[in-house]
Amino acid sequence: MSDALDAFDHDAWRTALGTAVSYALVLVVMTAVLFGVPYLAFTAL
């Protein structure tokens, strides 16, 4: 199994993974802010 993953040991793969993870994190935060905060504000009224 380790031999199969050695092909993904290049810096470019780690950069791509970091980019995808950070992009997903930004989407989660933006969704929470843009939909969660107004929902909480209107349900509190």
- Residue 15 inside a domain? The answer is no
- The pLDDT value recorded for residue 1 is 57
Domain count, the chain: 1
- What separation, in Å, do the N-terminal and C-terminal C-alpha atoms of the chain show? 56
Residue 5 lies in a domain: no
The confidence band for 25, taking pLDDT boundaries of 50, 70 and 90, is very high
Establish if 9 belongs to a structural domain. Answer: no
In a domain, 7, yes or no: no
Q: Which residue bears the tokens 């509190």?
A: 44
In this model, does residue 4 exceed pLDDT 90? no
Predicted pLDDT of residue 3: 72
Output 23 or 11, whichever has higher pLDDT: 23
pTM, two decimals, is 0.69
Is residue 24 domain-resident?
yes
On whether residue 27 sits in a domain, the answer given is yes
Range of the domain at 28: 20-44
In a domain, 8, yes or no: no
Residue 13 lies in a domain: no
